[in-house]
Structure 1
């Protein structure tokens, strides 16, 4: 199939729009041929639904991806799209667990979240009808609500009003403010907040859309799985006493614990770290208690 025209790309985006947006501009951003297939990535702007990437090409199904949600460059959206196409063409020995571990880089995930992620990762492989894709959107929203309940606890609100049980975006915001406080984490916190809101909004869009296809639903599953991995990484970072440490001499982060000092309450008060690069020992004293090391 030859590359699509500007008119075809514009009609596709407007057809996929839930709110009947209009394309105000569309231009080819980059062309790829490194896998023996000619693929073009379009940069499309709309009047009411923001900016989108549209990927199409020779023997490659056309699909669109929101620029504001997750895909920051033409290279990245091309890589994701081709990976998705490759998975669609893979053998029937698809294992949801491996898909989740690949997306989240194998981070530890709360059991109740991992179980639900496996369900939607399995569902996307058999989804055919519009109702199947809408159901996946519903399940993604439920996973995000469960994620909010998993990472949030009441102390994070301080003296503010407690969010409602199903208010995922507010719980996520309070979690980020609590765990990524300070100006050093400002950019990190801002980016994750944008991805969080976009993932929730995208899941809601899939839930109510009558035009969704496998590609939009699969994007929703991938975004949802990625977000769970992001939040689990933040939670694990906060509970890791040496995540921010580095050698005081050579500044290497290749450190291993050679001794720890536990208080009477069983919490870590002090650590001795050895640098695997220069051999220097570094002593870390904690002003706040740290849970016992496993």
Structure 2
């Protein structure tokens, strides 16, 4: 159920005018999902809903021959002939997202998984063991595999550049010892205390499940969730350490910065700038020739991809002067 129960039908008054970059992003998305002869002609934002902590933006998009609801987080589109009211599409969108989230429990954000790949591979093995488990000893085995995943996490960054000198280093299998050191190097203040406590409690939970002869499916599932959360958290803080803090708007200090790219077929290049979704600030515009940006790549293949619509403008039908 949506947060405020409000029904949004296709006749609802649109919200305030969209920023150009937001309108362009939705238009390009719809064009990328539509046939070449059914282009987006009008994009209107008609709602924004926060459901279980996730914000879903709702857009009404008129195309040449069809009309869509577009929902975000994740972005998807739904024919209005199938869902006459936006609220119907939103409910389906949220349900579909929950279903996909369950299926993707074995997946981790790509940027975070890069830093915990060995540990996450072992965690997937724990998920596979859970899928086949039926008796207490099977659920205990899930605890063993979760414990192994944590040990792998502790081992995976023992030589990381950000770790520095470690006097009296713990043994390789001492997850608690390494997790405490990682927390010291990667975080501070309350976040450091939280990460240390999270590592201690999660390790204790996996060991408890391993030895608990009356283990149930619920016990194993809770340990899986705790293990996944801990591995994912470490992946995020390690990535943050290596990537640095996110940029903020120089005018209002908002994090809502987005890249706005506008292709120019005549000049065979694109203009790029950074725009703030909160206050509208825009950086200086830079022009980059396609030949420079796509050096060594398939420029024409990219330009002819759905949603860009540039290739036809470069080489109209009957024009053999390509290149």
CA-based RMSD: 3.1
User: Given the superposition, is the C-alpha separation of residues 94 and 187 from structure 1 closer, same or farther in structure 2, using an over 3 Å criterion?
Assistant: closer
Q: Say if 2:127 is the partner of 1:124.
A: no
Q: Say if 2:255 is the partner of 1:249.
A: no
User: Given the superposition, is the C-alpha separation of residues 159 and 126 from structure 1 closer, same or farther in structure 2, using an over 3 Å criterion?
Assistant: closer
For 1:154 and 1:238, the matched residues in 2 are separated by: 11
The residue aligned with 1:137 is 143
User: Given the superposition, is the C-alpha separation of residues 246 and 154 from structure 1 closer, same or farther in structure 2, using an over 3 Å criterion?
Assistant: closer
**Preserved CA contact (<8 Å) 1:169 1:196:** yes
For 2:106 and 2:110, the matched residues in 1 are separated by: 8
Shift of 1:247: 2.0
The residue aligned with 1:168 is 175
The one of 93, 101, 104 aligned to 1:98: 104
Shift of 1:215: 0.8
Shift of 1:197: 0.6
For 2:121 and 2:166, the matched residues in 1 are separated by: 34
Q: Say if 2:184 is the partner of 1:177.
A: yes
SS at match of 2:218: helix
Shift of 1:118: 1.7
The residue aligned with 2:157 is 151
The residue aligned with 1:206 is 209
Shift of 1:158: 2.5
What 5-or-longer segments of structure 1 have no aligned partner? 1-74, 77-92, 259-272, 282-294
**Preserved CA contact (<8 Å) 2:118 2:153:** no
Shift of 1:244: 3.9
For 1:94 and 1:257, the matched residues in 2 are separated by: 28
**Preserved CA contact (<8 Å) 1:154 1:162:** no
The one of 190, 195, 198 aligned to 2:198: 195
Shift of 1:248: 2.3
Shift of 1:106: 6.0
**Preserved CA contact (<8 Å) 1:137 1:203:** yes
Shift of 1:139: 0.8
For 1:158 and 1:170, the matched residues in 2 are separated by: 15
Aligned ranges 1:220-259 → 2 under 5 Å: 220-241=223-244, 243-255=245-257
Larger Rg over CA atoms: 2
Shift of 1:204: 0.5
Q: TM-score, normalised by structure 1?
A: 0.51
**What are the superposed Cα offsets for residues 263-288 of structure 1, whole Å, 9 maximum, x if unpaired?**
xxxxxxxxxx944330146xxxxxxx
Shift of 1:151: 3.1
Q: Say if 2:284 is the partner of 1:278.
A: no
What 5-or-longer segments of structure 2 have no aligned partner? 1-51, 54-98, 261-272, 285-323
The residue aligned with 1:56 is none
**What are the superposed Cα offsets for residues 7-36 of structure 1, whole Å, 9 maximum, x if unpaired?**
xxxxxxxxxxxxxxxxxxxxxxxxxxxxxx
For 2:223 and 2:145, the matched residues in 1 are separated by: 10
User: Given the superposition, is the C-alpha separation of residues 235 and 166 from structure 1 closer, same or farther in structure 2, using an over 3 Å criterion?
Assistant: same
Q: Structure 1 segments of 4 or more deviating over 6 A? A: 93-97
Q: TM-score, normalised by structure 2?
A: 0.47
